Amino acid sequence: MNATALAADEFDPASVVTRDPVVRVEGICKHYGSVEALRGIDLQFERGKLTTLLGPSGCGKTTLLKIIAGLVPATSGRIIVNGRAVTGPGPERAFVFQDFALMPWATVLRNVGFGLELKGVPADERNRIARSYIGEVGLQGFEDKYPHELSGGMRQRVGIARAFAVNADVLLLDEPFSAVDEQNRRKFQEDLLRLVEMERKTFIFVTHSIEEAVYVSDRIVLLSPRPGRVSNIIDPRIDRTADPDDIRRDPGYLDVVEEIWQGLRHYAE
């Protein structure tokens, strides 16, 4: 259990090996009018792994994720998913929103099945699929509730179930746990790890919490403040077979957290 030690100041992206990249980010730049949000991002995301984009607020994490999702056009550069250049949203990618983006007028069941509804899947079949994912995220019995009847954590479970229901290869999660309280957050992180294990999908995960990133990720991409650039890539290599509470006390885990904090520290000053 040890981390690849990399000196933050002399980071060389070419030294990072990625086998079987399912998503390739090539030279992405993004300007919002006169605001430069992202500059020259080159990244590869490995199939079946969970990669985290970590960085301070406003560094362009959401922007990068939405560019990968095809929701926001890049100013320059391109995104390649499964060998094809991205021109817009596609069925091989699904997005989980920071603010959940649940339809307040629809039940949990309809919200979870919405992606399938848009594709024209018959009601019987999509309800069957939706029910199974509602069960998987631990919301059995809440199928007929409305979003306002659920807690923040439960709402995000609906958002995650909805993304799983369309069976995409790549899941894009934008700070999914930021509106969840600390106790539930830990539970959530463990559930997420279980889902990564079970579903064998590629996860691209955004957070600004260092602990969360180290705990859940196979790889962490550190972004610098505006304009967002890749400042480091770290593979935590945590042994996840151990008990969750032991992991959080493990010296290796704590070392990685400390290392990232040291790397980010000068931005905070």
Partner 1 sequence: MSVMSQDVKVVAPAATTRQALRLFAERRRSFWVVLSLLVLFTAWEIAGRVPISFAFPTFLDTLAALAEMVADGSMVRAFFLTLQPLVLGVAISALLGIALGIVMGLSDRMEWLLAPVFIVLQAAPMAALVPLVTFVYGIGLVAKTLAVIMLALPVIVLNSYKAVRHVNPSLVDMCRSFQGTRRQQIFKIIIPDAAPVLFAGLRLGVAAGFIGVMLAELLITPTGIGDLITYHRSVANYAHMYAAVASIIAASTVTLAVLQWFETNVMRPEKRRS
Ligand X SMILES: Nc1ncnc2c1ncn2[C@@H]1O[C@H](COP(=O)(O)OP(=O)(O)O)[C@@H](O)[C@H]1O
Element housing 61 (H / E): helix 61-69
Binds 97: which of partner 1, Mg ion, ligand X, none (CB < 5-8 Å by kind): partner 1
Q: Does 183 bind ligand X (CB under 6 A)?
A: no
Select the span of 6-14, 58-66, 124-132, 258-266 touching Mg ion (CB under 5 A). Answer: 58-66
DSSP bridge partners of 94: 171
Select the span of 26-34, 103-111, 230-238, 258-266 touching partner 1 (CB under 8 A). Answer: 103-111
Applying CB under 6 A, among 24, 39, 49, 61 the residue interacting with ligand X is 61
Q: Are strands 170-174 and 202-207 parallel, antiparallel or unpaired?
A: parallel
CA angle 139, 62, 27 (to 5 degrees): 135
CB-CB contact of 113 with 125 (8 Å): no
Applying CB under 8 A, among 71, 80, 193, 242 the residue interacting with partner 1 is 71
Q: Does 207 bind Mg ion (CB under 5 A)?
A: no
> Helix (H, G, I), strand (E, B), or coil: what is residue 134?
helix
CB-CB contact of 115 with 165 (8 Å): yes
| Closest of 257, 242, 253, 247 to residue 2, by C-alpha | 253
Applying CB under 5 A, among 51, 52, 62, 127 the residue interacting with Mg ion is 62
Applying CB under 6 A, among 16, 37, 116, 172 the residue interacting with ligand X is 37
Nearer of residues 131 and 208 to Mg ion, judged by Cβ? 208
Q: Does 59 bind ligand X (CB under 6 A)?
A: yes
Q: Does 52 bind Mg ion (CB under 5 A)?
A: no
Three-state SS for 221-264 is: EEECCCCECEEEEECCCCCCCCCHHHHHHCHHHHHHHHHHHHHH
Token pair of 178, please?
């930021």
Q: Does 34 bind ligand X (CB under 6 A)?
A: no
Q: Is 63 exposed, middle or buried (0-12, 13-18, 19+ CB in 10 A)?
A: buried
Q: Does 60 bind ligand X (CB under 6 A)?
A: yes
| Closest of 181, 130, 173 to residue 152, by C-alpha | 181
Closest approach, Cβ 79 to ligand X, in A, equals 15
Applying CB under 8 A, among 23, 24, 25, 114 the residue interacting with partner 1 is 114
In angstroms, how far is CA 78 from the centroid of its own chain? 19
Q: Does 89 bind partner 1 (CB under 8 A)?
A: yes
Closest approach, Cβ 222 to ligand X, in A, equals 12
In angstroms, how far is CA 142 from the centroid of its own chain? 25
Q: Does 224 bind ligand X (CB under 6 A)?
A: no
Nearer of residues 61 and 186 to ligand X, judged by Cβ? 61
Closest approach, Cβ 213 to Mg ion, in A, equals 14
Applying CB under 8 A, among 146, 225, 242, 252 the residue interacting with partner 1 is 146
Binding site for Mg ion (CB under 5 A): 62
Query: Which residues of this chain interact with ligand X, rule CB under 6 A?
Result: 32, 35, 37, 57-63, 226
